[in-house]
């Protein structure tokens, strides 16, 4: 595979940003098998965003001859009070994550945080070296990477989190760091500090965050225009989107998430209740799923309708479907029914494989 094809794979959706594209090109020209990672907290049942959208991008890296690694951040999970900081439960759910990602992303390598820290002799030395380069104020501004803000009540260990996540990257000797767009701040911190220490600076790849199914928390959206975002200036001088109108899909709100363990009926019920206003595409989670999940896996999207309502309609691109929806040529319930059907096709093999590994029963 040539360099151009590898770059095309890394750039294609769900990728939203690469920092920087010229560095990625140089990397592929000079290294046969670059080393990648995505780090994940261990936090319960996987869903459409955490396994499937993330897995789509991991699979692109694998196709591009990149050594792809999923880092199961067990200590970060403990620090961030996930799973009640119960080590036995964190360990069990880590094994579930490992099984799920190995199934959905054949060829991916799994690394457990505990093992990394045990085997890296200079980890804590490098932790101190890195931490000496950043202020407490900068650390506090980075807390959005763990879903927290400066206003939250924090214990001292949570202030260690940004430095730990950064030094993980050094310890793993990475060429490419990959995450959802919510982790952008930590990657920009790495790009700022690593050169000061003479450490290798990896390329950063950020993928799209799938929103939950609920109505976006915002002023009412009354047009088909893109939603307005409240933005803050990030540390690298680029506008940051910490405060996007709609939040990412989360297992903490299962009614607003499509879990990989959901049955066909559960998927249908959740999608039926999803926010999907007629003619409005902006902030519409059902259209987001069609765009970022269904069209990633299928070349054709078929709306099944009785002949008296116009019969079936086939779409071969998301933009074509979106335009018809905005022009009121597609009823929301028809859109939802088709979305549920396609989602079940994608999820059912995963659901079957992990039927005995649902964290609710672990």
Q: pTM for the whole thing?
A: 0.89
In this predicted structure, what is the pLDDT of residue 218? 58
At a CB cut-off of 8 Å and minimum separation 6, what does 328 contact?
Answer: 278, 279
Between β-strands 15-19 and 203-207, what pairing exists: parallel, antiparallel or unpaired? antiparallel
Among residues 247, 213, 253, 214, the alpha carbon closest in space to that of 230 is found at 247
State the residue for tokens 């200590």: 75
**CATH 1.10.240.10 in the chain, residue ranges:** 214-361
- Report helix, strand or coil for 114: helix
Please state which of the four CATH numbers 1.10.3720.10, 1.10.540.10, 3.30.870.10, 1.10.240.10 is assigned to the domain occupying 214-361: 1.10.240.10
In this predicted structure, what is the pLDDT of residue 245? 31
CA distance 96 to 109: 14
Which two three-digit tokens encode residue 26? 């140089």
Among residues 77, 2, 90, the alpha carbon closest in space to that of 359 is found at 90
In this predicted structure, what is the pLDDT of residue 62? 98
CA distance 317 to 329: 16
Cβ proximity of 40 and 70 under 8 Å:
yes
Bridge-partner residues for 47, per DSSP? 259
Dihedrals phi, psi of 49, to nearest 5 degrees: -80, -45
Which two three-digit tokens encode residue 289? 């799923």
In this predicted structure, what is the pLDDT of residue 291? 97
CATH code 3.40.30.10 for 3-207: no
Dihedral sign from CA coordinates of 144, 146, 150, 152? positive
CA distance 163 to 304: 51
User: What residues of the chain score a pLDDT lower than 50?
Assistant: 219-246
**CATH 3.40.50.620 in the chain, residue ranges:** 3-207
Cα dihedral: 336, 338, 341, 344 (round 10) = -60
């Amino acid at each position: 595979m040539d360099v151009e094809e590898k770059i095309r794979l890394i750039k294609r959706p769900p990728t939203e940003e690469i920092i920087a594209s010229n560095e990625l090109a140089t990397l592929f020209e000079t290294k046969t098998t670059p080393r990648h990672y995505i780090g994940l907290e261990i936090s319960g049942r996987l869903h459409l965003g955490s396994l499937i959208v993330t897995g789509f991008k991991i699979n692109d890296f694998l196709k591009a001859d990149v050594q792809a690694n999923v880092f199961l951040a067990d200590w970060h999970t403990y620090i961030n009070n996930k799973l009640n900081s119960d080590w036995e439960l964190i360990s069990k759910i880590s094994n579930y994550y490992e099984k799920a990602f190995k199934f959905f992303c054949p060829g991916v390598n799994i690394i457990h945080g505990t093992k990394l820290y045990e085997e890296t002799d200079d980890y804590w030395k490098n932790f101190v070296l890195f931490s000496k380069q950043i202020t407490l104020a900068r650390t506090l501004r980075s807390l959005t990477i763990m879903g927290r803000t400066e206003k939250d009540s924090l214990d001292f260990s949570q202030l260690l989190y940004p430095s730990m996540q950064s030094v993980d990257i050094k310890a793993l000797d990475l060429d490419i760091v990959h995450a959802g767009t919510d982790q952008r701040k930590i990657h920009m911190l790495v790009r700022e500090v690593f050169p000061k220490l003479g450490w290798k600076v990896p390329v950063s790849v950020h993928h799209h965050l799938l929103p939950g199914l609920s109505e976006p928390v915002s002023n009412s959206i009354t047009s088909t225009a893109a939603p307005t975002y409240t933005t803050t200036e990030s540390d690298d001088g680029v506008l940051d989107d910490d405060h996007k109108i709609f939040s990412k899909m989360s297992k903490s709100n299962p009614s607003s998430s499509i879990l990989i363990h959901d049955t066909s009926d559960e998927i249908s019920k959740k999608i039926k209740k999803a926010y999907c206003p007629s003619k409005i595409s902006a902030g519409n989670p059902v259209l987001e799923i069609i765009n970022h999940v269904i069209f990633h896996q299928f070349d054709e999207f078929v709306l099944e309708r009785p002949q008296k309502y116009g019969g079936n309609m086939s779409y071969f691109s998301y933009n074509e479907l979106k335009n018809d929806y905005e022009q009121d040529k597609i009823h929301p319930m028809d859109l939802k029914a088709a979305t549920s059907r396609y989602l079940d096709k994608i999820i059912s093999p995963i659901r079957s494989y992990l039927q005995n590994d649902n964290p609710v029963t672990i």
